[in-house]
Amino acid sequence: MLRRSSSYEALRTRFDWDLPDDLNMAHQTCDGWAATDPDRTAIIDLTSGHRRDVSFGTLYQLSRRVEAGLVARGVMRGDRVGVLLSQGPLCAAAHIAAWRLGAISVPLFKLFQRDALASRLGDSGAKVVVTDDEGKGMLRPFDCAVLTQKDLPDAAMATRAAVGTGPEDAAVLIYTSGTTGKPKGALHGHRVLTGHLPGVEMSHDFLGQPGDVLWTPADWAWIGGLFDVLMPGLALGIPVVAARADKFSPDFADWVIATGSVRNVFFPPTALRMLKAADTRLEGLRSVASGGEPLGAEMLAWGREALGVTINEFYGQTECNMVASSCGSLFDPEPGCLGRSVPGFTVAVIDEDGQLTDQEGDIAVRRGAASMMLEYWRNPKATAEKYRKGWLLTGDRGIMEEGGFVRFVGRDDDVISSAGYRIGPAEIEDCLLTHPAVATVGVVGKPDPLRGEIVKAYVVLKARSEVPEQELQDWVKQRLASYSYPREIAFLDALPMTVTGKVIRKALKARAAAEGGNS
């Protein structure tokens, strides 16, 4: 665990990855606690609409039953096991069971439609999928064995001896969000969970204070749900709330927090924007972490007032997560920056030659960090392209500021080049979001014969709001720079979003390019 410190510098210099030769995430998240403290609460299960506390002992028994079911279906070390389940004890147990067998779990999202499931099942070659009745129906067209709660054998049937694994042995194959292209499978070893812990602890202002209880509305099929919340909570012995809503709403968040005694939440920025748009206030939270998209100055200010906390923005990606973070109890966040390197990581901004630069450049992570993937699944070419001279390239652009704060400019492909200026969409979106009528916004470059590209903003207004285009343009001009204001603004009812709630700028860009003829 991260030892509490009063100085960020001390925290960093004191830190050391202490990876044992024997490492298995099943032991880390469940078996260890089940042996030493079986009555300790692992999961606060609200999925039935009532609260049921599930102990580590109970979780262990459930995982042993899943394990027995997997063994009966011939699962061996290295086989892929799909987990098509939303938040709930069985989802956790399925991953744990696969890991105990030395198999590779593959989180799958319940909202995937046929093609999305087909590509991931095909690419991963999953032998068995652990799911529920609904998932069983979804899987009917595919050629893979299925295991549901009803099929689970008795735990006593799990007789195979635990498989010895180490930090570099494959454990989980997790697909990226597909914001910029086809989702890529990032293969991680058993060290991936250890690699997440310092960042999770930091982004929750030293997670593990008495009374801490974790929750996220993000699905456990994504790196943000699975490795920023569920598995770190289990590993650190902090109860994790499981809850299910078909659609996130402020009332739902309020109910979960009250019923589950939640104190620590990871809210993706989309969820925060929905809370803010509805003027929600939430009581009783000790820490709120957010990441996956830029948070923005406006949200930071709102969080202090409506949630009573300084929201800690963190940064990372499916391939290498939780690499930078803020920590309100250690230092003031720098609005527009995604935090500072988490202990154990070196996040830098590098140029074409892999040298550090104080100009805008590629955000990169020093190779060797514990949460770094082993490789892209069966794709050596993509793996090779992911690195430059000992650095993992995130594909994002940024500027290194004083004190090691990294300013997020935008994804490599999203940076707008207009009349010789390089303009990051993040800053303009953040600025437009401070306008009282704006609910969400996506900013992209639109091809322009004169300027190369112009800044185009797609804006969704708050219910019953109206605002002239000129007012929004002036809003940006007066706050940022005369060259970076959106020359064109279009008002939409909704923005194209990934299932993880990220704005798909690629789709907006295609739309802008197809529009043609501009001012």
**Residue from 312, 318, 383, 418 in contact with ligand ATP (CB under 6 A):** 318
Q: How far is the CB of 206 from Mg ion (least distance, A)?
A: 29
Tell me the DSSP string of 396-465. Answer: EEEEEEGGGEEEEEEEGGG-EEETTEEE-HHHHHHHHHTSTTEEEEEEEEEEETTTEEEEEEEEEEPTT-
Cα–Cα distance between 458 and 472 in angstroms, integer?
Answer: 11
Verify binding: residue 409, ligand ATP, rule CB under 6 A.
no
Q: How far is the CB of 204 from ligand ATP (least distance, A)?
A: 15
For residue 479, give the H/E element and its range.
Answer: helix 469-479
Q: How far is the CB of 505 from ligand ATP (least distance, A)?
A: 10
Q: Could you tell me the two tokens for 28?
A: 């880390």
Q: Which residues pair with 417 in a beta bridge?
A: 422
Instruction: Determine contact, residues 416/453, Cβ cutoff 8 Å.
Output: yes
What does 338 interact with, of Mg ion, ligand ATP, none (CB < 5 to 8 A by kind)? ligand ATP
Verify binding: residue 291, ligand ATP, rule CB under 6 A.
yes
What does 326 interact with, of Mg ion, ligand ATP, none (CB < 5 to 8 A by kind)? none
Q: What does the angle CA 513 – CA 515 – CA 519 come to, to the nearest 5 degrees?
A: 100
Q: Which residue number, 128 or 323, has a Cβ lying nearer to ligand ATP? A: 323
Q: Which residue number, 167 or 291, has a Cβ lying nearer to ligand ATP? A: 291
Q: How far is the CB of 426 from ligand ATP (least distance, A)?
A: 7
Verify binding: residue 502, ligand ATP, rule CB under 6 A.
yes
**Residue from 317, 326, 371, 473 in contact with ligand ATP (CB under 6 A):** 317
Q: How far is the CB of 403 from ligand ATP (least distance, A)?
A: 17
Under 8 Å CB-to-CB from 328, ≥6 apart: which residues? 205, 309, 310, 311, 312
With CB under 6 A as the contact rule, which of the stretches 4-12, 93-101, 176-184, 272-280 interacts with ligand ATP?
Answer: 176-184
Verify binding: residue 407, ligand ATP, rule CB under 6 A.
no
φ, ψ at 254 (rounded to 5°): -60, -45
Verify binding: residue 195, ligand ATP, rule CB under 6 A.
no
Cα–Cα distance between 311 and 205 in angstroms, integer?
Answer: 10
For residue 215, give the H/E element and its range.
Answer: strand 214-215
- The mark string for 357-396 relative to ligand ATP (x by CB under 6 A, - otherwise) is -------------------------------------xxx
Q: Is the dihedral of CA 178, 184, 187, 191 positive or negative?
A: negative
Three-class SS state of 395:
strand
Nearest-10 crossing angle of helices 269-277, 250-259:
110
Verify binding: residue 176, ligand ATP, rule CB under 6 A.
yes
Q: Which residue number, 139 or 372, has a Cβ lying nearer to ligand ATP? A: 372
Residues 296-315 that bind ligand ATP (CB under 6 A): 313, 315
- The mark string for 85-124 relative to ligand ATP (x by CB under 6 A, - otherwise) is ----------------------------------------
Q: How far is the CB of 318 from Mg ion (least distance, A)?
A: 7
With CB under 5 A as the contact rule, which of the stretches 175-183, 293-301, 330-338, 453-461 interacts with Mg ion?
Answer: 175-183
- Report DSSP state, residue 156: G
Cα–Cα distance between 54 and 284 in angstroms, integer?
Answer: 23
User: What number of chain residues touch ligand ATP (CB under 6 A)?
Assistant: 23
Q: Which residue number, 103 or 322, has a Cβ lying nearer to ligand ATP? A: 322
What does 181 interact with, of Mg ion, ligand ATP, none (CB < 5 to 8 A by kind)? ligand ATP
Q: Could you tell me the two tokens for 444?
A: 């992209």
Cα–Cα distance between 100 and 172 in angstroms, integer?
Answer: 12
**Residue from 411, 435, 451, 509 in contact with ligand ATP (CB under 6 A):** 411
Q: Which residue number, 274 or 350, has a Cβ lying nearer to Mg ion? A: 350
What does 65 interact with, of Mg ion, ligand ATP, none (CB < 5 to 8 A by kind)? none
Q: Which residue number, 176 or 484, has a Cβ lying nearer to Mg ion? A: 176
Strands of the 340-341 sheet, one edge to the other: 52-55, 41-45, 240-242, 214-215, 264-266, 287-290, 312-317, 320-325, 340-341
- Exposed e or buried b per residue across 115-139, where buried means at least 16 C-beta atoms within 10 angstroms of its C-beta: ebbebbbebbebbbbbbbeebbebb
Instruction: Determine contact, residues 253/226, Cβ cutoff 8 Å.
Output: no
Q: How far is the CB of 171 from ligand ATP (least distance, A)?
A: 18
Footprint of ligand ATP (CB under 6 A): 176-181, 183-184, 291-294, 313, 315, 317-318, 338, 394-396, 408, 411, 502
Footprint of Mg ion (CB under 5 A): 176
